[in-house]
Amino acid sequence: MYAAVLMAAAFALLVSSVPVHASTMDDRIESSARKSYVFKTYLEGDDINIQSKEGVVSLTGTVSEESHKSLAQETVASLPGVKSVDNRLEEKVVDLGPIQVSADKTRTLPLPPIVGAIALVGRHRFAGHGKQEGLTRNKNVSTTRRLL
């Protein structure tokens, strides 16, 4: 009789400890993900919910960029104890309202100074000291002349 009670107590203890271990592991997974460098640095502005059950992690919420979805999934998948990741993250959609385009004004884009210098140098090429050779263009015909 004593052995049967002892066996029943051991069995009850074994059965009750499994969910506690799984729950502890799930808490560690969720905590580790939130404390990871990637979540603290790159995903800190995103609204990501992490829920783990027996090593199966669900990611829900919104992210600011499409690439953040895979970044969050890869980060969580690499944690110890994670069996799989269900990624249900969505990219935030920002509504800017109606966009109006007007063709009344024209804009010119300023070129950096280096582009202008290349354009000027491209017309006349001089090399060396003393006697220099240069290239001048006369309409569509290119001629070379010696400069003294």
Amino acid making up residue 23: S
Helices (H), 42-135: 66-77, 113-123
DSSP state of 55: T
For residue 8, the tally of other CB atoms under 10 A from its CB is 10
Locate the domains of the chain by residue range: 2-91, 113-147
33 neighbors 73 (Cβ within 8 angstroms):
no
Angstrom distance (rounded) from CA 15 to CA 8 = 11
Would you state the pLDDT for residue 110? 61
> How does pLDDT run across 37-88, given as a tens digit for each residue?
999 999 999 999 999 999 999 999 999 999 999 999 999 999 999 999 999 9
Question: Which class for 68: exposed (0-12), middle (13-18), buried (19 or more C-beta within 10 A)?
Answer: buried
Query: What CATH architecture is 2-91?
Result: 2-Layer Sandwich (3.30)
Amino acid making up residue 97: G
Does residue 102 surpass a pLDDT of 90? no
Most confident of 34-38, 101-105, 122-126: 34-38
- Under the banding of pLDDT at 50, 70 and 90, the label for residue 98 is confident
Angstrom distance (rounded) from CA 121 to CA 126 = 9
What average pLDDT score do residues 103-127 get? 53
Q: Which residue has the higher pLDDT, 102 or 120?
A: 102
> How does pLDDT run across 8-25, given as a tens digit for each residue?
555 555 555 445 566 899
Angstrom distance (rounded) from CA 87 to CA 75 = 12
Query: How open is the CA angle 81-85-89, to the nearest 5 degrees?
Result: 140
